[in-house]
Amino acid sequence: MNNNPKKQPETTFISSKHLEIIKVFDKKSDYDIWNAFDKGDEMAFNYIYRTYVKDLFRFSSQYSRDSYLVKDSIQNLFIYLRKKRGSLSKVNNIKGYLFKSIQREIIKNLKTEASVETLEDNIFENHFLIEVSPEVSIIKREVETELKQKVQRGLNQLTTKQRKVILLFYVEELSYKEIANIMNFSEVKTARKIVYRALATLKELIKPTSY
């Protein structure tokens, strides 16, 4: 868990050309792929876009239910990255970098004077909801319908910040360091602490009621 295995692009209905692109970059590190993109490799750009665009849309949709705003923000991000090729910073984890970048783009496009923290605590109170599924490790062995419902209700009672960290850690499989970077924490241990506290709270919320 959280060793940051490279996201595999879905190959259903992908043309043979793009399947070849996947083969070229599939075994390369994020650092090498990003470096190739920064140097102008169009195949690297296509690989990055196809690999992460769905993740970006899912994550961005937690900030806004306006699909047009989300799609425009993602498009603007990739346009900006292409323009900046040749001067981009080094990246060791593409997904984490893109998540942090799209977060800034979405908030900018929401055109609000509120701070990011205020936005997340108020406007986004009902966002960053986590859908319970057997594949998520936190409930992998808890597949009974009744318990799943309790876990779902418990997750929805967590704070916005707790839900966001849980989503990034368990669903998006980012490391504590990457989460701290995305959420602008000054220390990695802050991300770890929020995950631990969220899990402790969740356990209390779903534990059997004593009679």
Distance from C-alpha of 197 to C-alpha of 186, rounded to nearest angstrom: 18
* Ranges of H-type helices in the chain: 16-25, 30-38, 42-60, 67-83, 94-109, 116-118, 145-157, 160-166, 176-182, 188-206
- The residue behind tokens 């704070």 is 159
**In the 3-class helix/strand/coil scheme, how is 101-156 assigned residue by residue?**
HHHHHHHHHCCCCCCHHHHHHHHCCCCCCCCCCCCCHHHCCCCCHHHHHHHHHHHH
Work out the average pLDDT over 53-74. Answer: 89
Q: pTM score, two decimals?
A: 0.67
Tens digit of pLDDT for each residue in 128-142?
Answer: 665 555 555 555 554
Q: Which pLDDT score is estimated for 131?
A: 58
Spell out the domains of the chain, with CATH numbers in brackets. Answer: 15-111 (1.10.1740.10), 113-211 (1.10.10.10)
Q: Which pLDDT score is estimated for 202?
A: 85
Tell me if 30 sits within 8 A of 6, measured CB to CB: yes
Distance from C-alpha of 119 to C-alpha of 139, rounded to nearest angstrom: 29
What the block records as the tokens of 5 is: 């295995």
Q: Which pLDDT score is estimated for 101?
A: 94
Q: Which pLDDT score is estimated for 185?
A: 92
Distance from C-alpha of 54 to C-alpha of 191, rounded to nearest angstrom: 24
Tell me if 40 sits within 8 A of 69, measured CB to CB: no
Q: Which pLDDT score is estimated for 141?
A: 53
Distance from C-alpha of 40 to C-alpha of 209, rounded to nearest angstrom: 59
Return the number of other C-beta atoms located less than 10 Å from residue 49's C-beta. 17
Work out the average pLDDT over 114-139. Answer: 54
Q: Which pLDDT score is estimated for 172?
A: 87
Q: Which pLDDT score is estimated for 211?
A: 45
Residue 47 banded pLDDT, cuts 50, 70, 90: very high
What the block records as the tokens of 70 is: 């989300």
